[in-house]
Structure 1
Amino acid sequence: MESQNPYLAGDAALATPPRHYTGEVASKGRRFGTMVADYVIYYVLSLVISMAVIVAFGPGALQGGKAYLITIPVYLSYYSGFEGVLGRTPGKFIFGTRVVTRAGGAPSFGQAIGRTLSRVIPFEPFSVLFASDGDAIGWHDSIARTKVIRVR
């Protein structure tokens, strides 16, 4: 006779998030708005953390170029963290876009890091402006093999 263990997992299927996203490629204007929103949020976040460091360690804590010890990790964790975990930064939530692989799947954390590191290439933000209208893909998209689509 089969025992009825009340602690065994049931047969119910767990809801899983969609692994394939569809939508048109986000327009240049929407991507520009996303970039502006993300930069504002990033700068405010960097300012708040810098002020906390100054309060904790004194006014000289960030002098002599030490501010980069705050801004670079915040930049890397902001973009890589949000895009690697959620596929969206706060700016992308605001403007209704998300990062997907070229096939439409969720990007890997490695792709999110690749997108983030590619953003520091000089003049990279202009690469989206010079892309064709139906294909608003910047260097950080092509290097990481991703694209940004509209989800609403």
Structure 2
Amino acid sequence: MRKYLQIVDRNKASLGTRFVNNLVDLIVLAIIHIILAIVSQLIYILTYNNFFFFFNNGGFIWDIFIGAVVAFIYFYLWEYYSDGKTPGKYITGTKVISIDGKRPTQRQYVSRSLYRIIPFEAFTFFGTDGWHDSMTDTRVINYKNYETERQTKNEIDNIGIKETA
């Protein structure tokens, strides 16, 4: 069981900010899908190999499957390798942290990405936290506010402690 810090809860990103994060990330994902469709079409034209023509080859269910795989890879790679930020989070100044205030583990990043591809998971935000936050013990926070409050708390805790040069 992870230690739950109140400072994380006080600096959670608002629902509007989360919506903007999601909107920006969906636009980037749409661009990635268009690029993949163009590349697969070009490879198909050059090789006549149906394997590369996967966007129109398998129908609706195949498109959903490929979309879920691409979304999983997108969210996992961005959040894991850019310290909890996706392009949407960069724009809004937010990031993912664990409820104990530390960087999430690789398992938490994988779980977050898997929960995101559940159909209608976005509607879970009508509660307190979405599934990909609550089930993985992570939160999306306003990073500047969080760092300011954390630094203030550390400075208050260090009052009276003699500094050495």
TM-score over 0.5 for the pair = yes
SS for the counterpart of 1:99 is strand
- 1:73 is displaced (CA, Å) by 3.0
Using structure 1 for the length normalisation, give the TM-score: 0.74
- 1:130 is displaced (CA, Å) by 2.5
Q: Of the candidates 140, 151, 161, which is equivalent to residue 148 of structure 1?
A: 140
Number of the residue aligned with 2:18: 31
- Between the aligned residues of both structures, percent identity stands at 31
Number of the residue aligned with 2:85: 88
- 1:50 is displaced (CA, Å) by 1.5
- 1:129 is displaced (CA, Å) by 2.5
SS for the counterpart of 1:41 is helix
Number of the residue aligned with 1:18: none
Does 1:77 pair with 2:73? yes
* 1:16-66 deviations in Å (ceiling 9; x for gaps): xxxxx9671000000011011101101111111121111111386132235
Does 1:108 pair with 2:105? yes
Alignment RMSD: 2.2
Higher helix share: 2
Distance 2:132 2:112 in 1: 5
- The answer to whether the Cα contact below 8 Å between 1:46 and 1:70 also exists between their aligned partners in 2 is no
- The answer to whether the Cα contact below 8 Å between 1:84 and 1:111 also exists between their aligned partners in 2 is no
Distance 2:44 2:65 in 1: 14
- The answer to whether the Cα contact below 8 Å between 1:49 and 1:70 also exists between their aligned partners in 2 is no
Using structure 2 for the length normalisation, give the TM-score: 0.69
Distance 1:98 1:37 in 2: 14
Letter in 1 for 2:29: Y
Ranges in structure 2 where 5+ consecutive residues have no aligned partner? 1-6, 145-165
* 1:69-119 deviations in Å (ceiling 9; x for gaps): 743332111101111222111111011110000011111121111001111
